[in-house]
Structure 1
Amino acid sequence: MMSSVPPSDQNNNKKMKPEQFRDIFRTMNDLIHEKPVKGFLQSIDEFFSNPFPSGAFPVQVRENEDNYIIAAELPGIKKEQIRLNILPNQLTISIENNESETKEDSNNHIFQKRVSQQRLSRTISLPVMINEKMVKASYRDGLLTITIPLVRGTTINIED
């Protein structure tokens, strides 16, 4: 079926005028240079500069005859930022990273201040009770190593 409107009139209604394009580009340019987008772009930069971009850090648990050995890779983290918390059969490794950056002009007037706080934690469940008095931890060259001795129960002989 053919429309009663001539084809040239249909096309004229859909064409955009150059002024409309100019307004769209001006709006897009304003949006890119406004704070929300700049903040978003800055967060992307921070995401790629973060040592733990996925929000977690790698942890490996091994077992030998006498111990559980937990190793966590924490590059760029200082020992003071690490906290270990022990529950009956769980170990939680927490990291807190607080950064503050202030930019001043030549008259010592602050024109930009940025504060960021990052908290990450991993909880490892073990199939045994943990005796916190026997747990040992060391941190060297970005590698946290935690040694948890296996606590063996008493073996009971069954009589006939």
Structure 2
Amino acid sequence: MTSKLPSDKNDNNKKPVPEPFREIVKTMNDFFTEKPIRGFLQSIDEFFKHPFPSGGGFHVETVETGNEYIITAELPGVKREQIHLNMTGNYLTISVENNQIETHEDEHNHIYSRKLMKEQSSRTISLPHSINEKKVKAFYRDGLLQVRIPQEKGKIIEIED
């Protein structure tokens, strides 16, 4: 008595064995194009396009004009005193900090609950040269922060024979 396994059925209809590398390439292609991997890879792409979650971060754009760098940050609803600029070497960091204290009192003005909420977002922009903070100008109006950083001209060194 012989038993046939499911793989033993239809021996006459077997397909020819494909080249091993073709099968590996097909498997890898399927792996990266099927869900959930494709969704995972798309989320990584989205992270690098928009590294801060919606509501938690802010958009920053850098434009080079030839004479200066103009860095613009969109900060709607942010007060001027909540914005902090920090320059170190060739890095400019724009930070936004929001601190709120929520207090609950009873009818006798006794505090029975106090909650401190602290939110902070920051973006760091790298420039190709050190920043001379004495020449930097920053303006904030209607939710747009604009930082103007003059491009520094380095000293040209002549090469001798």
1:1-160 residue pairs with structure 2 within 5 A? 53-156=54-157
Q: Show CA shifts across 1:82-137 (max 9, x none).
A: 11111111001111110011122322122332210112111100112211111110
TM-score (norm 1): 0.61
| Unpaired segments ≥5 residues, structure 2 | 1-52
Q: Counterparts of 2:129 and 2:116 in 1: how far apart (Å)?
A: 41
TM-score (norm 2): 0.61
Sequence identity (%): 55
The residue identity in structure 2 corresponding to 1:116 is M
When the two structures are aligned, how many residues end up with a matched partner?
109
The residue identity in structure 2 corresponding to 1:96 is E
Q: Counterparts of 1:62 and 1:80 in 2: how far apart (Å)?
A: 25
In the TM superposition, residue 139 of structure 1 has moved relative to its aligned partner by 0.8
Q: Counterparts of 2:114 and 2:154 in 1: how far apart (Å)?
A: 56
Q: Show CA shifts across 1:4-56 (max 9, x none).
A: xxxxxxxxxxxxxxxxxxxxxxxxxxxxxxxxxxxxxxxxxxxxxxxx74532
Structure 1 runs (4+) deviating above 4 angstroms are 156-160
Counterpart of 2:152 in 1: which secondary structure? coil
| Unpaired segments ≥5 residues, structure 1 | 1-51
Counterpart of 2:73 in 1: which secondary structure? strand
Q: Counterparts of 1:53 and 1:112 in 2: how far apart (Å)?
A: 30
Counterpart of 1:155 in 2: which secondary structure? coil
Counterpart of 1:112 in 2: which secondary structure? strand
Q: Counterparts of 1:55 and 1:137 in 2: how far apart (Å)?
A: 23
Q: Counterparts of 2:119 and 2:159 in 1: how far apart (Å)?
A: 54
